[in-house]
């Protein structure tokens, strides 16, 4: 795990791999709860019986947005800032959903720091986030994610 003192210290790590998370198993309960919260309850996500017969591997698949939403959770295993104020998600420059994630799959987040712009009160960082799926060659999601991290 990368440990830095304050958000502006990210400027010293631009272009570097920040690290990777532990494996996270995508369970049907995660997918179903996400579907209920977002209203995206299309059968490929929630109907396990239909998926057995109609999906290529016989399993439901996770929403791409669900996988993307795991960045804040999984990046806690990649870096820690000892002295920081609030942090705000600022958006994404580019998001690609490359491979479907079947229920029961294990995924892992890899992060690289693309840029760190130090401002008066906050540092804007852009990370390249690549989600690996255990057993697949290609990643499932790749996204440039932007955070504003405020100083104390």
In angstroms, the Cα distances linking 20 to 46, 108, 109 are 29, 7, 5
In which band, very low, low, confident or very high, does the pLDDT at 107 lie, cut at 50, 70 and 90? very high
First to last CA, the chain: 22
| CA 53/CA 150 separation, integer angstroms | 50
Q: Is 150 exposed, middle or buried (0-12, 13-18, 19+ CB in 10 A)?
A: middle
Tokens 């990210």 — which residue? 10
CATH classification code of 2-150? 3.10.129.10
Question: b/e for 83-103, b at 16 or more Cβ within 10 A?
Answer: ebeebeeeeeeeeebebbbbb
What is the structure's pLDDT at 40?
97
Q: Is residue 142 a contact partner of residue 130, using CB atoms and an 8 Å limit?
A: yes
Mean pLDDT to the nearest integer, 42-64: 97
pLDDT for the residue 56: 86
Share of the chain above pLDDT 90, in %: 98
- Residues 64-96 have pLDDT tens digits of 999 999 999 999 999 999 999 999 999 999 999
Report the run of H or E that residue 88 belongs to, with start and end. Answer: strand 87-97
Q: What is the pTM of this model?
A: 0.94
């Amino acid at each position: 795990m990368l440990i830095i003192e304050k958000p502006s210290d990210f400027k010293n790590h631009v272009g570097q791999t920040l690290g990777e998370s532990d494996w996270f198993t995508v369970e049907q309960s995660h997918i179903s709860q996400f579907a209920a919260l977002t209203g995206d309850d299309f059968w490929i996500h929630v109907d396990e019986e239909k998926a057995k017969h109609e999906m290529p591997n016989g399993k439901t698949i996770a929403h791409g947005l669900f996988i993307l939403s795991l960045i804040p959770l999984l990046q806690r295993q990649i870096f820690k800032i000892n002295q920081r104020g609030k942090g705000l998600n600022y958006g994404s420059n580019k998001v690609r959903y490359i491979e479907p994630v079947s229920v029961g799959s294990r995924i892992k987040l890899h992060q690289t720091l693309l840029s760190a712009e130090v401002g008066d009160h906050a540092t804007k960082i852009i990370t390249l986030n690549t989600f690996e799926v255990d057993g697949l060659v290609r990643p499932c999601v790749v996204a440039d994610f932007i955070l504003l991290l405020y100083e104390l």
